[in-house]
């Protein structure tokens, strides 16, 4: 059975193939995955990242950008493994949002 994210062979419209500069937060998400996967033993593997992305609900998969899908998957996997707990994660996100709103 085809999952929602599996669009291979389906009409999906044009693909934007232009290169773009990654935003700082996108570079940080990439670095975070490299740090988690590069440890001995690794805290997370790339196949776990893929599993987390594939488990996103269709509305989230459509709404989130490439690196937003990554950070959503990374967060869920770290909570699943007990590295973070959901309350801790939500508190940190609230802190970051408050800091961003204060700077704007």
List the CATH number of the domain containing 55. 1.10.472.20
| Domain of residue 91, residue span | 24-103
Tens of pLDDT, residue by residue over 46-79, are 999 999 999 999 899 989 999 999 999 999 999 9
Is residue 38 assigned to a domain?
yes
Phi then psi for residue 19, to 5 deg, are: -70, 150
Is residue 8 assigned to a domain?
no
**Predicted pLDDT of residue 58:** 87
Is residue 4 assigned to a domain?
no
Task: Say whether pTM exceeds 0.95.
Answer: no
| Closest to 89 in 3D by CA, of 103, 64, 71 | 71
Tens of pLDDT, residue by residue over 10-21, are 677 787 788 889
Q: How many domains does the chain have?
A: 1
């Amino acid at each position: 059975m085809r999952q929602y994210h599996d669009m291979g062979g389906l009409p999906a419209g044009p693909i934007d193939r232009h290169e773009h500069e990654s935003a700082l937060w996108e570079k940080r998400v990439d670095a975070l995955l490299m740090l988690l996967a590069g440890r001995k033993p690794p805290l997370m593997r790339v196949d776990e990242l893929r599993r987390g992305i594939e488990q996103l609900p269709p509305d989230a998969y459509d709404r989130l950008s490439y690196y937003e899908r990554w950070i959503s998957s990374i967060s869920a996997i770290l909570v699943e493994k007990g590295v973070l707990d959901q309350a801790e994660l939500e508190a940190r996100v609230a802190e970051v949002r408050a800091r961003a709103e204060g700077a704007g």
